[in-house]
Amino acid sequence: MLEALKEQITRRRALLITPFAFAGLVAISSRKGNRSEEKVSANGNAEVVIVPFRDSGERLDSVTVPKLIRSDSQWRKLLNAEQYYVTRHQGTDTAFTGTYYLLHDRGLFRCIGCENALFSSDAKFDSGTGWPSFFAALAEENIQTNRDVSMFIERVEVACKRCDAHLGHLFNDGPEPTNLRYCINESALTFVRYS
């Protein structure tokens, strides 16, 4: 009788765990993202094409740069705990807790991990969500999008193309002219006023 009870418990445990294990596999596979635009240099290092911007907002010619790859311990030294959690572990800031969603100064929003220029105050709008929101990226070349099903719904993750920092998500409920809303975590950004 005891053996039959153990077998029943083991089967129930397997039935309970299976959906969660499957969801985890789906989430991991969705994190692979779109890496088709990465190149490999002659020395075997990954490279990407980005568009640099001066702090004045001036767009420069696109350049090929090495993909910025750091170890986990290097990221922990560079970033504070919240920045690390958000950018390296796809976390989310708590809404209405930052200051950038209220910021109306003119300038650039750069990646906290690599200073890649991502968004401009010219495309920023008040979405009422409590996160900095933009209707367009500064340069499409500087970001990448990935399929994200981590919350059991399909979303579009936005990441920095240079260092793969998780930035936030992209939605199609924004204002004209794009009807897009880049909902971005403040912890993933640093703001530079136009010089």
Q: How large is the C-alpha radius of gyration of the chain?
A: 20
**Candidate list 114, 160, 163, 183, residue with the active-site label:** 183
Instruction: Find the farthest-apart pair of alpha carbons in the chain and give their distance in angstroms, rounded.
Output: 78
Q: Are 168 and 185 in contact (CB under 8 A)?
A: yes
User: 156: which DSSP letter?
Assistant: E
DSSP code string of 31-44: TT---TT-EE-TTS
Catalytic site residue 114?
A: no
Whether the ω angle into residue 132 lies within 30 degrees of 0, i.e. cis, is: no
Question: From the centroid of its chain, how far is CA 129?
Answer: 17
Catalytic residues: 183
